[in-house]
Each structure stands twice: as structure tokens, then as C-alpha cells.
Structure 1
Amino acid sequence: MDGQTDTPNEPLPIRRLQESLINRIAAGEIIHRPASALKELLENCLDAGSTSIRVTVKDGGMKLLQIQDNGCGIRRSDLPILAERFTTSKLSTFSDLSRITTYGFRGEALASISHVAHLSVVTKTKTETCAWKAHYLDGALVEGKPGQTVEPKPCAGNDGTTIIIEDLFYNTPTRLSALRSASEEYSRILDVITKYAVHNPKVSFVCKKTGSPSPDLSTPSSSEVPQAIRLLYGHSIAKDLLHVTFSSKNKASQDQDMEGEEEEEAPNRETWTADAHFTNANYQSKKMIFLLFINHRLVESSRMKRALEAVYSGVLPKGASPFIYLSLQINPRDVDVNVHPTKKEVHFLNEDGITDQISDTLQRSLASQSHSRVFEYQTLLTGGLAEPEQATSKKRKGKERARDEDENEENAAGEPKPAAPAPPKKTLSQYKVRTSLQDRTLESMFPVANPMQIEGRSSSKGKPADTLKSREIKESECFLTSVKKLRQNAIKGKHKQLSEILEKHTFVGIVDLNKCLSLIQHSTKLYLVNHGTLAEELFYQLGLRQFGDFSRLKLQPPPPLRTLVEIAVELEETTEESGLTKPQIVDRIVETLMARRDMLAEYFSFNITLNGLIESLPLLLRDYTPNLDKLPSLLMRLGPQVDWTSETECFETFLRELAYFYVPGPLCSTATPETDAEKAERWQIQHVVFPALRRYVAAPKSLLDRDVVQIASLPELYKVFERC
């Protein structure tokens, strides 16, 4: 080919790229945007054993991204090669990759950042007397200021390391222009920190913008995963969370049960464990939130995500998605973490089998919780129309103008005008309160004919609501010191404002029967309350009030105690924690109750015959009949949940269990049209439970945490409309 002229078809010569260009191309594979740089540095902080990580951001991380931790720090002698490629303390030989359990191991994060940004490091170990600050550019030490040496400088600092990234992508304008707005990049940063904060609840995370007085994200240390999810993703997710833990041993035991005779385990069976927090069928979101950690590494798996979406496709309506947090621990020898530049993906043995078992476990857990969904909805409250009025500002101007005219007339005549009688003070519309109980409620839109005649729910013989009047429940005379102490504790724990709200409330309607949510009005405010929790506190205090003098709820025919306990114990999924078999648990509960049948009859009118038949239960509230489908569960819980060894604790725990039994609501929610029993349940809640709440309950402060929530205020609503 010598002597021939160059033609377009002739191959181009191969050249060796410059080292700086090689490093910049490699950096582009690792650092895509500020959030990817942050992910690499967060992993370094966690590898260093940090318990507190603080992130400061400016302009979405493009101008400044600072990460400060309190970890072990970096030695002064290691700073010269800190930002060079493939410098790490995690690997020494290639075989170490099969045992790697840390996050960063290739030594590329800081090197990549130094090629696309100005990098500074301030670090201090516990053994050193001062901190050291170093500046890096293109993987090498550079002077911090013109005229200084490139050597690290001593400075003040705390134990740990602070990484400062400035002017990210200053030398790659194409990458910089491809980034989104600063606000969107900042939201991506918050998303990364949020996910690591959920998986590392023992580590405190703080993220804020420069110049902002308060952080946008702050988590405490020493918390647990459910608390972290509640704090970071909100109460709506946390209240519907389910939790399961399982492993390959569960699968192995199931296989052995199915195979029967084949008990020999495969010698090379992979071992793994999984911990999952996921929402039940009641939670719905437009977008799926999936947090997947494999060996504590945040990764993505489209195969596993599709499988879990398929699990919920038969549970949630079309277009709705769940929240899933999954932490998978696999033997490091079975995982290849070196398959993606940012370690976003990993490969592991038997991925399909593990994914299928995880999906099956979540599906069984969802199925065991409920067979239906509960749909949230809003109800429009109807009411009278307000009279048309002028704006408040116009009223005020009119009054001032009239007052000026009166003063002018007085000055012109030279004599004061005779004082006119003061007009009655007018109440503004926003402070008018509906107090008539005859006004329309939500339940009036769904009439129930003779509700108390349905299934013998009460002894009121179908009397209408306006003629039902509960008899006064007088406090029984009791000389037991323990009961007196419990009564005093109930009075001491009374919250004055909440008790006043319940005493003077107006019932609006039941929002959701299965979730035990109702609306009540007090003064000019509307409250959403959990009537199940309120009823539980009511029945507990009614039990204290009538101690030793209960009316009886007779059971005809009397059911056998042992049979009911057997039903409840059989429905329990697992009893392994007790170390007893189910028949042994039944025997122990029956023996406990039979041994104390005299005390139960004397103090609580809880009559059990010598033959083990339950003749009567304590009747806590006239005209109210509890759901007797819960009786087996009550009897089972009386065994382990009541402290029979101490008098005070015995009475308190027994009454708490009895109150829980009396709480209104079905045994399980159903998706079928409302039955007559549910209509009667609604009637009892409105006409029996809420009137009793007005008269007898001393509301404790604990109900304010989540069971009584103000959702509207008439004066505040008027302020909103005045601005419109």
C-alpha cells in the first residue's frame, strides 16, 4: 500500500487519546448530574461509619454541593493520591470483588468529580490534632490560592470529612446545558437522600439550601424504618404499611414439605434474606415508589419492579400504584456488583427464583390482610344558603361615612343630637354556629327503616331515635384501692379543651364505617374523628364507672368457652413465639379463665358455668349491643393480654380488652353493598355512642395525636374567600 494516495475508503489511523480526555470521558460515565455525585459521596460517608451526614446545596448542586460527615476521616498521608483513578482502601486483589460488602470499591468517584468540578476536601481523623484541607483538579493536588503550595494545609475542623464540589460541569458545557432547572436537580438530590435515610434510620441526615434558615430534610438518628418512612413519605403511607421478613430458608422448608421423602438439601443452595415494608390495598398513588437495596446498595431492577407491579394489579384499581421498600441480603459471592459504572444495577444468581418468591410472599401477605379495597371519597355537606352581604371592607367604610355625617350635623346645629338607642350587635356570618340537632346530617340522606329491629340489635323494640333516652349511668360504690386509683388516673388525664369539644359537639355524619371515621362540629370548626378509638376510651371508662355493678348481656343459648377459644386460636397464623402448640394454648387460656370464674362473675358479671358455658357478658351501655362475632377473639386475648398477677394491672388490662371488644365495626371489611347489619351499626354509632361520648368520656390528650383532627374552620374559610 506504500505510495498510494489517500482515498475516502482508506482506514483512519488509530491514535492514543490524551490522558485528560480519557479521564473526562470516564468521569462522564460516573457523574451524570449533581444527584449522581451526591450518591457516590453518601456511600463514602456510610462506608466511613458516619452517624450524621449534612448536605448543603446551591443552585441545585451545580454551583455548590457540600457533604459533611462525622466518620473516621482520611489520613494526611493518603491525601496526595485521594483523587487519582483506581485508588481505594476496599480492594487489594481481584478476588476481593467476590467478598465486597462496602459501597465504593473502584476508587473512581472523587477522581471523576475532580475532572468535571473544583474539588476540595477537609478531613480529620480522631488521632490527629488538626484537620487538613486539600484542593484537587484533574485528579491531582493543586494550590488553593495563587502562590500557595499544593500540599494539604492544616486548618480547624471536626472529626470526619467534608467534601466541597463547586462549579460542577464547568468544563463540559454540553452536559451542563442538558441539566434540568435548579429546582428539579435539587428535588433529585432530596430523592437520593430520602432513600438512603429510609434504609439507614440509625444515621441522621440533613439537607438544606445555602442561605436557608431551616433544612428541607432532617431525620433523627436511632430511629427505625417505619418511623423513617412516616417522617419522609408521610402519614398516608405509614398508616397502611405492612411488614414481612423472609429468607431462602422459608422456601427450603416449603419445598421439603411438598417433596415429603426428599429431605436432602442441595449443597450449593444460595442463601438470602429479605425485609419488606409495603402498603396494603387501601393505599393508592399515581406513581409507584420502589426502594430496592441489595446488600445495602441502592439499585434498580426492572424485572423485580414489573413482578411487584403484577402483584398489585389484581388488588389496586387501574392506574393506582403502591409504595414498596425492599432490602435484600444476598451472599456476596452470589452477587456481581461490577456491572454498571454507577453501580446502579447488580447481577445475582437465581434472580428469577428470588423475585418469584418475593412476589408470592407479598401477595400472600396482602391477601391475608383484606379481601377488598376501601375507597376514599368526599361528601358534600348540604345546608342553608347565606343571605347576600357586602364585603366586610365596604361595611366598615359605610359605617365610617355615616359616623362622619352625624358629626357634621352636630357641629352645624351647635347642639348635640339626642343619643339614639344602640342597635343590637350583629353576628358576622363567619361566626354563626349551627346548633340545632334537627338540621340535616349525612345519615339523613340514607334512611334506615326501623334500624333497631334488624337482627335483634337492641332491646329497644324498634323505638324511634327521638324517643330513645339512655338511662343515667351512676358510678358504682367501690372500696378497692386499685379501682379508685384507676378512676383518679382517668380524671387526671382529662384534656379540658378536647373534652369540651366532645361534650358540646354536633354530629355531622359517618365518613367511612370500615375506617371508623366520622365528622363532628364544635362551634365554628369541623373535626374528623376516629370514632373507634373514641368509643374504646368511652367503654373503658364506662367499665371503670360500673365496676362491680354491671348489667348482664345474656347469651341464649350459652356457647361453650373451649369451642370459642379454639376458633380464635385456629385463625391465628402463627403461634411459634409462645413455644406451645395450638391445643396447649387453648388449654392454658381455658384453665386461666375457669380458675378465675368467681372473680369474673363478682366484679364484671362475666358468668361462666362449671361446665364451661358462657351465660352472660357485662353490658357496658344500654341500647348498644357489641358485635358478637368478636367474642372468640376476646376470649383468646383474655389469656395472654391480661396481667392476672397484679390487681391494678389485672383490672385495667381486662377492661381495656373488654372495651376493645365493644368497639363498633365489623370483624372484617367487605366490598359488598351495605347490609342491614351495617346500617344498624351506623344507627348505633350516631344515636347511642356519640350521645354517650358527650356525657361520660373524660378525653385524654393522647387522642389529639391522630384521632381528632381539625379539617375546617369557618372564619379561616371566610378569609380564603375574601381573598378570591
Structure 2
Amino acid sequence: MSSEPKPIRRLTENLINKIAAGEIIHRPASALKELIENSLDAGATSIRITVKDGGMKLLQIQDNGCGIRKSDMPILAERFTTSKLSTFSDLKKITTYGFRGEALASMSHVAHLSVVTKTKADSCAWKASYVDGALVDPKTREKSEPRASAGNDGTTITIEDLFYNTPTRLSALRSTSEEYSRILDVITKYAIHNPTVSFICRKGGAASPDISTPSSSEIPATIRLLYGHSIAKELIHHELSCNKKGKQRVVEEDAMDEDEDESEEWSAELYFTNANYQAKKTVFLLFINHRLVESLRIKKALEAVYTNILPKGSLPFIYLSLQIDPRSVDVNVHPTKREVHFLNEEAITERIADAMQEGLVKQNHSRTFEYQTLLTGGIMGDEPGPSKKRPRKERDEGSEGGNEEAATTTIAEPKKKIYSQHKVRTNLQDRTLDSMFPVVNEATQIPMEASTSKSSQTPPTNSLPKSKEVKESECFLTSVRNLRQRLVKAKHQQLSEILEKHTFIGIVDIHKCLSLIQCTTKLYLVNHDSLAEELFYQLGLRQFGDFSRIKLDPPPSLREMIEIAVEAENTETSTLSKSQIADRITNILVERREMLADYFSLTITEDGLVESIPLLLRGYTPNLDNLPSFLMRLGPQVDWTSEAECFENFLRELAYFYVPIPSISDTDEYKAERWQIQHVLFPAMRRYLLPPKSLLDRDIVQVADLPDLYKVFERC
């Protein structure tokens, strides 16, 4: 096999156009959809369609629209020729069906295309045939001009021998009957959405049409005509809108409650069946800005409204027409314009689903519907008898007189449905990661959770007990007050809300200092050591000059502990010996022992014994194995010549000493560290930490969002 790279060549124009045609025209129904949209853009009020062999032999559409100018016909079937756009900015506010100018061009590359058109100003119609985007003579296939022809105002487009030059695509199509049914489905949907337009569809040579709708009907009448009386009699009509201020209104007798703000204005019109109608397949018609599109997410959300109303396996009929500001809709996301993207899709879908649910509850005309809603719970009243608000006399008359209307159960105000992807765990005693993998006591082979008595368990709480509350000390030093003000200014609002409202999930890896927390529907992976270091620095600054103490008994020698820490350090670059370094650091701390004891409760005796160290958080004990390193670092890491830098450096080193690094001597699955992290550290963070933005950039990562996960699983 040759290792030489193959040369890159430009594709021929003809091949490029054929590839593009395959993206636009999948089957006869997709070609017809493009042609219907062109007719509607032309202002047609009557559209006639003729089909042979499922549209593969013949597909003809005739409308009474504005027609096409003769001067425009030479470029009619060329790619990217359109009357809908002139600049890219026009795409942001497009309201027409077509805009790319590829539909007729694609058809001319995979079929024989001919056009007969006449404007009101023309004295006759003009006829033209196209091959590969060029206007040609149908017999000689040479370039030609439009020919005069008889015809009515409007346009007639004829497609013959679809996919004659792409046999693979032709062989992949279904039977003619199935392709014809797809064509009827497209016409049916557009006929319902455009009740003022007359649609007629017939097979070639047939005496009567298969679809025929009048041009003066309304949507319910068209639904009855095309889908039958069984659907039409069970329809519920609902209109709702949201203005730019976020106020929602419903065009019905009663108005819905105002909801949360929306940034964009939109409106929706709905026709959906009540609980008495049920089918094996959902009929879902979705139009966004009058464009027929598909959206699996919206479809599933609206189907979910019927989950507790219809029997399993029974599905509804739903027609939804959504009007959104064109600037909020991206129509250019699919070659066939089958999909669109728009802002606030999830919020708008929820509003519509809520409106449907309320409409189903209000449509209380049949005993069947009352019985079914009672089974689901949360819709009917708590008691099956008369409402408690009715007078006793009125209740007696209703029951004794046998008046079914008066004895009907009163429906309670429905609770707003919370969809699964927005449900948030509120019980902090729910299962955590550690509870799913319990540590087993080897001596008794009993899970530690089960062997621990209830009195010894400390449930996670949102606030610390009053005995552990950390009060801010009163300090008049300007340097300390400036440091405190700097913390307040650097507070990041979003991160503060996450930590204040979080639920602790569990420790992922204690060695890598990773834990999981949840806030609303989002899951975050956090570096608890970085958060703890910032917390202890702030707690130290908060208690400056008024620290509690951890008494060391017996008090260790300051010189010996510093020697231990210096021995573990690499001092080859220093001109001093390790003994001299230890002496110098010891002298620095002993000389400043009064200041250290007064401000930080670090008590050092005259003969160099460490009697106490500061306690930053009650219930939390730092790892004393790191005490030698802490005392040693106070020498080189603290700027003893400047007041503000001295206080800040000392508190940073103290915070680093307090970080929950697992003890080497603790081999029992780091049980003590795990308990302190979950039950002391995270509640303290929730209460006291003013997190800066640097933590969000570096140490907190969102790993999951429940609504996004639902979208992923919907695609699976």
C-alpha cells in the first residue's frame, strides 16, 4: 500500500450540486414541502397537488399566488438565488419559509423540472424547463428562453421522474403507497395550520381528491375534516402569551398566575385532546413562526402532561403553533429546515406544558375524566364528597335531589407540576456516597453505619450549633480592617449562592482532595482543600486578636520541632547550615512571642516551649503532624517588617496548617478526616466562607446538570 498522500482536488460544480440536492430532497414528501412553502410565501389562497406513483413519476403543484417575473426565470433554478434575503442581517428577522434558494435548484438536479407562471401584470403565462439548474429547451437540452404559454395567475411547478439519475436514492424509497401517505401527511399538517388556504390533493387520473379543504374554514373545522369527528369533539383550545416584562396571560375565562420573568416575547396557540381521547400513536403538529418543524424534546415534554391521565400506551393529539420574535430563532440549522433553535426553549416549553395541564383540569365535563384525575392524586379534592366551602343546606339539596351537576366533586386548584429534570433533593439526610459504600468493621463484620448509635450520629446541618459559632472580634487596627474589607469586595455572588445552598454528596478521593456537592439541579466537583484553606484564612482574620487556644500538654520544644522540619527540607542552596537555619527561625519566633500570643494565641515560653496554638474552628482539630512544618515556615514565609503583610502571611500559613491533609498514622480509612470534612468543614463553608472568583476558576467544576442529562438521554 502506497504511503504517498493522495492529492486534494476541487469537486466539479455538477457534483457539488448533486451532493447538495441529496441533502435537501430526501423523498417526494420533502420536495412537496418545499413547494408548498414557496406557494404560501407567494400569497396563494388555493393550492392544487397532483401525484403519480407516490410522487416519483409526477409531482405537480399549482397555486394562485403572485407568480414569477419573466426576467427572473433564467436564474430561478440556480443555487442561492432568492427573493427573501439581501444581507446577512436579514436572516436574523426572517419570517418567510424559504430563504436559501436551494429547493428548486436541488429538484432540477435530481428530476425533470418545468415551471409555468404568470403575474397579474403579464398578458400571458411563461413556461420554462430546467436541467441541472439551467434553463434549457426540453427537447434539445440546449440553453433557451421562457416560452409563451396559456395559464392562470400564479405558478405551476411540475417534477417528473424524481431521482432518475440517482438510482441508489430511488431504490431506498418505500413503496408508492407509503410515499403517497407521507405526502398526504405533509399536506394535512399545512392545511390545518393554514385554514384560509384551500388544499386539494389527488392521484393522477383519479376522479375525486383524497384531500380537499375549503379556503374559509377554521382550525377546528379543518381538524374535523382531516382527522375525524372523534378528535374534533374532544379538543381543548388554549392560547397563552408572554410579553417582554414576563407577564403571562391566557385567553380564556380565567387568567393564569403570573410566572417568572422571560426575556423574550412569545405567544402560543394550542389544540389538544382531553382525557376521553386516546390513540396508540401521538399526533403532534408543531409550527414555529408558521414553519413546520420537529422537536423531540417539546414532544416528550407535552406527552408527559398526559402520563397520569391517560392509560399506559394511550397517546394524545396535539397541535401547537408558537410565535417567537424572529431575532430569537435560528432557522438555519438544518438543510431541510426541519429543525430550528430558539432562545429559552426549555422555559417556554414548561409554560406551555403547565397551561395544558391546567386546561385538562378545567375541562371537567365527563365522569370518566373525574375518575381518572382522582386516581392520579393532586388534582381532585381530598374528599370525594361535597366541597367543605359549600353551605350544609346546599350540600343536602344536591345529594337528596339527585342533581348530578350539584353533586359533582369540586376540583382543587392544581399544583404546578415539577418535571423530573428539575426535581431537587431537599432532605439532607438522604443517601450520600459514603452510605452507598459503607465501611465494614472487621471485628464484628457489621457496617459502621449500622453499628453506630443514633445518639452518636451527627446529621449534616445547614448551620453550626451556637456553641461552635465563630464571632467576629472587635479590632481597631487599620491593616486588619482593610484585609476584612478586601474579602467582602472579592466575594463572588454566584459561588456564594452555590456554597450557601449546597448539599454535600460525598468525598470522591480524599488523597486528591475531591468532593461532590449539589446545588439545585447541578452537580459540582470541588477541591475541598483549597476551599478549606480559604475558609481558615478568613476565620483567622475574623477572630484576629481573640482566638481560642489548643493547649499542648506537655509543651514541645520549639527548637526541636523546627529542627525536625528543617531536616526534611532541601537546604543546599542556602549558605547556612541546617542547625543555623533552625537557630535563626527559633530566635525570630521567640523575640516576637508576646505579639504572637496577643494577636494569634500562639504561646511560646521564654525557654522556647510551645504551650498553645490558635483554634480556628471548634469541633475541628488540625493534623498536629504538620505542626513542625508550620512553625518552620513562619520564619522565611512571613514578612515581619510590614504590619499588614505580616498579619496576612501569618494567617495564610496558619490556614495551610489547618488544611485537612490525611494523617499517615490513621489507617482506618481516614475516618476522622472524612467525618470532619463532611460534618464540620462544609457546614462552616456554608456559614462563613466569602469565596473569591479565583476558586470558581480553579477549584470548582460543574460536572453535571440534570436538565442537560435528560436532553442527552432523550437522544439515546
TM-score normalised by structure 1 residue count: 0.50
| Offset from partner CA, 1:130-181 (integer Å, 9 cap, x none) | 0000000000011023398611110110000000000000000000000000
Shift of 1:10: 2.7
Determine the structure 2 residue equivalent to 1:37.
31
**How many Å separate the matches in 1 of 2:390 and 2:148?**
73
**How many Å separate the matches in 1 of 2:405 and 2:50?**
54
Select the residue among 307, 316, 334 that pairs with 1:322.
316
The alignment status of 1:206 with 2:205, answered yes or no, reads: no
Amino acid in the other structure paired with 2:235: L
Amino acid in the other structure paired with 1:308: L
Partner secondary structure for residue 315 of structure 2: coil
The alignment status of 1:57 with 2:47, answered yes or no, reads: no
Determine the structure 2 residue equivalent to 1:183.
177
Point out where structure 1 has 5 or more consecutive residues left out of the alignment: 1-6, 256-262, 376-511, 513-563, 569-612, 618-624, 632-665, 671-724
**Aligned 1:11-410 pairs, distance under 5 A:** 11-146=5-140, 150-249=144-243, 252-253=246-247, 269-370=263-364, 374=368
Shift of 1:667: 4.4
Amino acid in the other structure paired with 2:177: S
Q: Is the 8 A contact 2:134 2:143 kept in 1?
A: no
Partner secondary structure for residue 336 of structure 2: coil
**Aligned 1:643-682 pairs, distance under 5 A:** 667=408
**How many Å separate the matches in 1 of 2:248 and 2:126?**
57
**How many Å separate the matches in 2 of 1:157 and 1:335?**
38
| Offset from partner CA, 1:239-259 (integer Å, 9 cap, x none) | 10001000124993369xxxx
Q: Is the 8 A contact 2:244 2:263 kept in 1?
A: no
Shift of 1:30: 0.1
**How many Å separate the matches in 1 of 2:80 and 2:144?**
21
**How many Å separate the matches in 1 of 2:326 and 2:350?**
21
Shift of 1:294: 0.1
Partner secondary structure for residue 374 of structure 1: helix
User: Number of paired residues?
Assistant: 386
Q: 1:149 to 1:87 in 2, by over 3 A?
A: closer
Partner secondary structure for residue 252 of structure 1: coil
**How many Å separate the matches in 2 of 1:241 and 1:77?**
48
Q: Is the 8 A contact 1:309 1:321 kept in 2?
A: yes
Shift of 1:12: 1.3
| Offset from partner CA, 1:30-77 (integer Å, 9 cap, x none) | 000000000000000000000000000000000000000000000000
**How many Å separate the matches in 2 of 1:97 and 1:203?**
26
Partner secondary structure for residue 101 of structure 1: coil
Q: Is the 8 A contact 1:244 1:277 kept in 2?
A: yes
Q: 1:254 to 1:271 in 2, by over 3 A?
A: closer
**How many Å separate the matches in 2 of 1:277 and 1:315?**
17
Shift of 1:630: 4.1
Q: Is the 8 A contact 1:206 1:219 kept in 2?
A: yes
Amino acid in the other structure paired with 1:354: I
**How many Å separate the matches in 2 of 1:286 and 1:669?**
31
Amino acid in the other structure paired with 2:185: D
**How many Å separate the matches in 2 of 1:265 and 1:212?**
55
Partner secondary structure for residue 197 of structure 1: helix
| Offset from partner CA, 1:499-555 (integer Å, 9 cap, x none) | xxxxxxxxxxxxx9xxxxxxxxxxxxxxxxxxxxxxxxxxxxxxxxxxxxxxxxxxx
Q: 1:235 to 1:250 in 2, by over 3 A?
A: farther
| Offset from partner CA, 1:8-37 (integer Å, 9 cap, x none) | 333211110111000000000000000000
Q: 1:8 to 1:232 in 2, by over 3 A?
A: same
Q: 1:371 to 1:52 in 2, by over 3 A?
A: closer
**How many Å separate the matches in 1 of 2:240 and 2:141?**
61
Shift of 1:336: 0.3
**How many Å separate the matches in 1 of 2:245 and 2:208?**
48
Shift of 1:626: 6.8
Amino acid in the other structure paired with 2:52: K
Shift of 1:309: 1.3
**Aligned 1:566-645 pairs, distance under 5 A:** 627-628=402-403, 630=405
**How many Å separate the matches in 2 of 1:250 and 1:16?**
49
**How many Å separate the matches in 2 of 1:15 and 1:135?**
32
**How many Å separate the matches in 1 of 2:159 and 2:329?**
32
Amino acid in the other structure paired with 1:91: L
| Offset from partner CA, 1:424-458 (integer Å, 9 cap, x none) | xxxxxxxxxxxxxxxxxxxxxxxxxxxxxxxxxxx
Q: Is the 8 A contact 1:316 1:373 kept in 2?
A: no
Q: 1:223 to 1:372 in 2, by over 3 A?
A: closer
Determine the structure 1 residue equivalent to 2:533.
none
Amino acid in the other structure paired with 1:162: T
Amino acid in the other structure paired with 2:230: S
**Aligned 1:399-548 pairs, distance under 5 A:** none
**How many Å separate the matches in 2 of 1:335 and 1:353?**
15
Amino acid in the other structure paired with 1:222: S
Which deviates further from its counterpart, 277-286 or 243-252?
A: 243-252
Q: Percent identity?
A: 71
Q: 1:155 to 1:119 in 2, by over 3 A?
A: same
**How many Å separate the matches in 1 of 2:315 and 2:185?**
18
**How many Å separate the matches in 1 of 2:69 and 2:410?**
61
Q: Aligned Cα RMSD in Å?
A: 3.4
**How many Å separate the matches in 1 of 2:189 and 2:359?**
24
Shift of 1:117: 0.1
Partner secondary structure for residue 305 of structure 2: helix
Q: Is the 8 A contact 2:248 2:259 kept in 1?
A: no
Q: 1:254 to 1:135 in 2, by over 3 A?
A: closer
| Offset from partner CA, 1:653-701 (integer Å, 9 cap, x none) | xxxxxxxxxxxxx74799xxxxxxxxxxxxxxxxxxxxxxxxxxxxxxx
Q: Is the 8 A contact 1:370 1:669 kept in 2?
A: no
Q: Is the 8 A contact 1:84 1:140 kept in 2?
A: yes
Amino acid in the other structure paired with 2:116: V
TM-score normalised by structure 2 residue count: 0.51
Determine the structure 2 residue equivalent to 1:707.
none
**How many Å separate the matches in 1 of 2:139 and 2:242?**
57
Q: Is the 8 A contact 1:279 1:322 kept in 2?
A: yes
Q: 1:264 to 1:314 in 2, by over 3 A?
A: closer
**How many Å separate the matches in 2 of 1:250 and 1:275?**
18
**How many Å separate the matches in 1 of 2:304 and 2:404?**
34
| Offset from partner CA, 1:395-427 (integer Å, 9 cap, x none) | xxxxxxxxxxxxxxxxxxxxxxxxxxxxxxxxx
Amino acid in the other structure paired with 1:367: V
**How many Å separate the matches in 1 of 2:141 and 2:112?**
18
Partner secondary structure for residue 200 of structure 2: strand
Point out where structure 2 has 5 or more consecutive residues left out of the alignment: 250-257, 372-386, 412-716
